[in-house]
């Protein structure tokens, strides 16, 4: 079967000699891939023309809802993706990491997009900066989506997750994507894209896929495009130096295979829970996806006195792992993705053996199913031991991208940190210890060299997601050899696809640009209390100035009795003067309550609920005898997609009789639509 690419709105077959894609278990040809003849310039132009404008016309919340619908749709068809994943050598558990992990990432970004981004197409980054004494010239940063295409070049090991974990933040930011999966497993990614396109959920031009070579694609990039790469450090470095990427300053992020480590704390001796957890994690990481993970544990670093105990314990676990046909329910590790990968891993192991000895090699027979099965792509789980890790280079420079890891001993915590840092930058390092002081020393010692650090003890182990599992909420990437990039990390990764721009001007002008009232900007009133207006009738800058209220000593004492807050500064003049106040001071929360009493409309109005305050600051003390007044202004209006209400943010300033602000905050309310 010939795999087609989805380019410029249609499925396109290549016109050259296709690459043969083989079943990882049987070695049989199952697909052919070729992208010869595809106009890659046209793909980029189509994405910019058809996709970019359509996506950017929607809001962050609308895009987030599309991601949610997409996740639900892929969930309904994931069984077919599971069947294809088996052809790559993946067990059911491996496929779960890839397919369900990718779908889960879509759900995560759908949720974060609605919770952490505004329901508009411009993101306001940070607070207003005062640039002048009188406040008529201010500055603020905004982020807007780049107007090009995000080109995602992915590795073979996670054809679904690798695609979706990059697509989700890029699409949420407002960019269309071109997916280039690794050819060897492109049939899984292509099937997922077929379902995405057929669902009709995404705007036209949002997603294209290349099954085969990228040809001259990179030659047509512009400064508005983005390239992301996952794979080997050598290939990523070559791409990063592409003349077009350098000349156009194209944003390029790389997540490369690295020599990740798992370190056993000095307190975690045999017999402790941490020792057993460590052994379990190492064995699992060696055999999940047959060790073909960019986050897999390549270096097992333990106190010198327990090297033998660790090798014995890990070897015992590996011996009990059923290896064979991944279609069998009891099999926990399948083959590598293909014979070429097996030869590559064997070559790297030969290099490692220059300074290491074999401590364990899996000797059991492979489990066989009904299908014809060869041993061609299977690689036996292997443990190496390096007796002098501080004086050799291979374990810290050579990566065997399979079920292979090297055990090495350390003499002290400083020695362990030094060994970890010799990997020259990693995606993840993990530390198993029940000593929090040791965890602090270790984490701060290796943090400059790592994108993620996982610390495990008996308390966190039950819910820990594991050494090799990047989570959408946390950064995935690392410095140095690991590529120097960041993927995931929640909304941080969304910002990678946006341009941050500094705006300068009057508060009114800036507010008009990004759709939010800015302190010092123009306000207006039509005589109708804003609380009496439906969501659609409110405009940015709608404002009222309330009546006044004088705070009395009786108010303070009654609030103390009602709330139970008898803090000395509210109840005793002498003690208050010994602090920072002139005399007894009103409770800050009473001032807020009294302010609400001034601006809240008591009748049945479109305002449905108050659900929070943000940025609250008490600026000037309020003493009995002071008089307060409130300025309430519509700061922003954010419709809630598919719901009968919207969110209104109100800028609230409480002043005293001297026109001094005593409290400032943003009030959030739900307001009904008509």
Q: Report the distance separating Cα 404 and Cα 356, nearest Å.
A: 12
Q: Report the distance separating Cα 158 and Cα 168, nearest Å.
A: 15
Tell me: pLDDT of 374 over 80: no
Residue 579: count of CB within 10 angstroms of its CB:
9
Q: Does 46 share its domain with 190?
A: yes
The secondary structure of residue 100, as a DSSP letter, is I
Q: What is the mean pLDDT of residues 170-186?
A: 95
Q: What is the mean pLDDT of residues 340-365?
A: 94
Q: Report the distance separating Cα 181 and Cα 151, nearest Å.
A: 11
Confidence (pLDDT) at 70 = 96
Confidence (pLDDT) at 27 = 87
Q: Does 248 share its domain with 283?
A: no
Q: Does 196 share its domain with 98?
A: yes
348: in domain:
yes
Q: Does 198 share its domain with 264?
A: no
Tell me: pLDDT of 373 over 90: no
Tell me: pLDDT of 115 over 80: yes
Confidence (pLDDT) at 45 = 95
Tell me: pLDDT of 309 over 80: yes
Tell me: pLDDT of 418 over 90: yes
Q: Smallest Cα–Cα separation from 199: which of 306, 70, 335, 82?
A: 70
State both tokens at 161.
Answer: 């997750």
Are 151 and 513 within 8 A, CB to CB?
no
Q: Does 437 share its domain with 560?
A: no
The tens digit of pLDDT for each residue in 328-346 reads 989 999 999 999 999 999 9
Q: Who contacts 343 (Cβ-Cβ below 8 Å, separation ≥6)? A: none
Q: Checking phi first, is residue 458 left (phi over 0); if not, alpha (psi -120 to 50) or beta?
A: alpha
Q: Catalytic site residues?
A: 255, 294
Tell me: pLDDT of 371 over 80: no
Confidence (pLDDT) at 641 = 78
The tens digit of pLDDT for each residue in 223-246 reads 999 999 998 888 988 999 999 999
Number of domains in the chain: 3
The tens digit of pLDDT for each residue in 133-152 reads 988 999 999 999 999 999 99
355: in domain:
yes
Confidence (pLDDT) at 640 = 81
Confidence (pLDDT) at 387 = 95
Confidence of residue 486 (pLDDT cuts 50, 70, 90): confident
Max CA pair span of the chain: 91
Residue 644: count of CB within 10 angstroms of its CB:
11
Q: Report the distance separating Cα 308 and Cα 304, nearest Å.
A: 8
Q: What is the mean pLDDT of residues 342-353?
A: 95
Q: Does 328 share its domain with 252?
A: no
Q: Report the distance separating Cα 300 and Cα 8, nearest Å.
A: 47
Confidence (pLDDT) at 291 = 92
Confidence (pLDDT) at 470 = 87
Q: Does 245 share its domain with 280?
A: no
Q: Does 75 share its domain with 209?
A: yes
Percent of residues, the chain, with pLDDT higher than 70: 100
Strand partners, 254: 229
CA-CA distances (angstroms) from residue 533 to 166, 322, 605, 606, 637? 42, 67, 8, 6, 12
- HSE, side-chain direction, 13 A CA sphere, residue 646: 21
Confidence (pLDDT) at 520 = 87
At 24 the three-state DSSP class reads coil
Tell me: pLDDT of 290 over 90: yes
H helix intervals, 4-129: 40-46, 53-56, 60-76, 78-87, 92-95, 101-116
* Owning domain of residue 604: 523-672
Q: Does 206 share its domain with 324?
A: no
331: in domain:
yes
Q: Does 335 share its domain with 466?
A: yes
30: in domain:
no
The tens digit of pLDDT for each residue in 509-521 reads 999 999 899 988 8
Q: Does 245 share its domain with 264?
A: no
Q: What is the mean pLDDT of residues 4-16?
A: 92
Label residue 137 exposed, middle or buried (CB < 10 Å: 0-12, 13-18, 19+).
Answer: middle
Tell me: pLDDT of 190 over 90: yes
423: in domain:
yes
Confidence (pLDDT) at 484 = 87
Please, what is the average pLDDT of the chain? 93
Q: What is the mean pLDDT of residues 423-440?
A: 95
Q: Please state whether beta strands 10-12 and 226-231 pair in parallel, antiparallel, or not at all (unpaired).
A: unpaired
Q: Does 625 share its domain with 539?
A: yes
| DSSP state string for 468-500 | T---TTSEEEESGGG-SEEEESTHHHHHTTEEE
CATH classification of the domain holding 144? 3.40.605.10
Q: What is the mean pLDDT of residues 640-666?
A: 92
Q: Smallest Cα–Cα separation from 298: which of 422, 147, 470?
A: 422
Tell me: pLDDT of 618 over 90: yes
CA-CA distances (angstroms) from residue 502 to 134, 420, 499? 20, 40, 10
Q: Who contacts 590 (Cβ-Cβ below 8 Å, separation ≥6)? A: 551, 555, 556, 559, 563
Are 266 and 413 within 8 A, CB to CB?
yes
Residue 155 CA from chain centroid, whole number: 18
Q: Please state whether beta strands 10-12 and 5-7 pair in parallel, antiparallel, or not at all (unpaired).
A: antiparallel
H or E element in which residue 254 lies = strand 251-256
17: in domain:
no
User: In this structure, what is the dihedral angle of CA atoms 172, 177, 182, 183, given to the nearest 10 degrees?
Assistant: 140
Place of tokens 């005589």: 527
Confidence (pLDDT) at 86 = 92
Q: Report the distance separating Cα 296 and Cα 508, nearest Å.
A: 53
Confidence of residue 431 (pLDDT cuts 50, 70, 90): very high
Q: What is the mean pLDDT of residues 149-175?
A: 95
CA-CA distances (angstroms) from residue 461 to 109, 280, 313? 26, 11, 19
Confidence (pLDDT) at 26 = 87
**pTM of the predicted structure, to 2 decimals:** 0.91
Confidence of residue 376 (pLDDT cuts 50, 70, 90): confident
Q: What is the mean pLDDT of residues 419-433?
A: 95
16: in domain:
no
Tell me: pLDDT of 416 over 80: yes
Q: Report the distance separating Cα 219 and Cα 76, nearest Å.
A: 38
Are 426 and 478 within 8 A, CB to CB?
yes
Q: Who contacts 283 (Cβ-Cβ below 8 Å, separation ≥6)? A: 314, 317, 318, 321
514: in domain:
no
Tell me: pLDDT of 440 over 90: yes
Q: Phi and psi for 413 in degrees, rounded to 5?
A: -65, -40
Q: What is the mean pLDDT of residues 23-52?
A: 92
Residue 105 CA from chain centroid, whole number: 8
The tens digit of pLDDT for each residue in 566-575 reads 999 999 999 9
């Amino acid at each position: 079967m010939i795999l087609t690419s989805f380019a410029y709105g249609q499925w396109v077959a290549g016109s050259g000699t296709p690459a043969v894609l083989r079943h990882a278990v049987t070695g049989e040809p199952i697909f052919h891939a070729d992208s010869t003849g595809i106009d890659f310039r046209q793909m980029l132009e189509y994405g910019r023309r058809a996709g970019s404008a359509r996506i950017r016309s929607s809001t962050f919340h609308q895009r987030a809802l599309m991601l949610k619908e997409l996740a639900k749709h892929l969930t309904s068809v994931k069984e077919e993706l599971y069947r294809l994943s088996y052809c790559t050598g993946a067990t059911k558990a491996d496929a779960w990491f890839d397919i369900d992990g990718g779908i889960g990432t879509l759900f995560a970004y759908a949720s974060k997009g609605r919770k952490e981004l505004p329901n508009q197409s411009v993101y306001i980054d940070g607070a207003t900066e005062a640039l002048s004494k009188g406040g008529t010239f201010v500055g603020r940063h905004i982020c807007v989506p780049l107007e090009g295409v995000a080109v995602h070049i992915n590795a073979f090991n996670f054809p679904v997750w690798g695609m979706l974990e990059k697509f989700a933040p890029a699409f949420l930011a407002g960019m269309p994507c071109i997916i280039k999966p690794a050819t060897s497993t492109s049939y899984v990614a292509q099937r997922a894209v077929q379902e995405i396109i057929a669902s009709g959920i995404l705007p036209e031009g949002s997603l294209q896929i290349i099954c085969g070579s990228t040809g001259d694609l990179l030659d047509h990039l512009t400064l508005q495009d983005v390239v992301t790469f996952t794979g080997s450090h050598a290939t990523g470095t070559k791409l990063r130096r592409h003349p077009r990427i350098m000349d156009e300053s194209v944003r390029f992020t790389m997540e490369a295979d690295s020599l990740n480590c798992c370190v056993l704390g000095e307190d975690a001796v045999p017999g402790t829970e941490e020792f057993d957890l460590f052994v379990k994690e190492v064995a699992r990481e060696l055999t999940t996806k047959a060790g073909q993970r960019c986050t897999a544990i390549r270096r097992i670093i333990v106190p010198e006195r327990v090297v033998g105990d660790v090798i014995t314990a890990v070897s015992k676990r590996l011996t009990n792992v059923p290896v064979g046909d991944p279609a069998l329910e009891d099999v926990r590790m399948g083959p590598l993705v293909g014979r070429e990968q097996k030869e590559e891993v064997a070559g790297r192991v030969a290099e490692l053996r220059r300074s290491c000895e074999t401590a364990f090699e899996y000797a059991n027979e492979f489990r066989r199913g009904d299908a014809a099965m060869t041993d061609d792509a299977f690689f036996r789980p292997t443990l190496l031991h390096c007796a002098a890790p501080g004086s050799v280079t291979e374990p810290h420079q050579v990566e065997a991208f399979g079920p292979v890891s090297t055990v090495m001993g350390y003499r002290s915590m400083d020695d362990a940190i030094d060994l970890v840092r010799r990997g020259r930058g990693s995606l993840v390092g993990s530390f198993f210890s029940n000593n929090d002081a040791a965890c602090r020393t270790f984490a701060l010692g290796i943090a400059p060299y790592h994108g993620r650090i996982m610390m495990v003890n008996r308390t966190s182990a039950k819910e820990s997601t594991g050494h090799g599992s990047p989570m959408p909420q946390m950064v995935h990437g690392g410095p140095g050899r690991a590529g120097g990039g960041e993927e995931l990390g929640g909304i941080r990764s969304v910002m990678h696809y946006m341009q941050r721009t500094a705006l300068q001007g009057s508060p009114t002008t800036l507010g008009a640009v990004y759709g939010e009232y800015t302190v010092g900007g123009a306000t207006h009133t039509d005589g109708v209390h804003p609380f009496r207006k439906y969501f659609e009738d409110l405009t940015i800058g709608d404002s009222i100035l309330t009546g006044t209220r004088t705070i009395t000593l009786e108010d303070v004492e009654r609030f103390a009795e009602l709330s139970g807050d008898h803090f000395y500064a509210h109840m005793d003049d002498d003690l208050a003067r010994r602090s920072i106040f002139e005399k007894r001071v009103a409770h800050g929360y009473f001032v807020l309550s009294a302010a609400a009493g001034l601006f809240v409309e008591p009748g049945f109005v479109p305002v449905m609920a108050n659900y929070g305050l943000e940025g609250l600051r008490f600026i000037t003390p309020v003493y009995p005898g002071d008089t307060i007044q409130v300025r309430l202004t519509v700061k922003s209006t954010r419709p809630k997609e598919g719901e009968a209400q919207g969110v209104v943010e109100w800028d609230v300033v409480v002043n005293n009789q001297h026109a001094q602000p005593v409290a400032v905050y943003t009030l959030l309310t739900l307001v009904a639509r008509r």
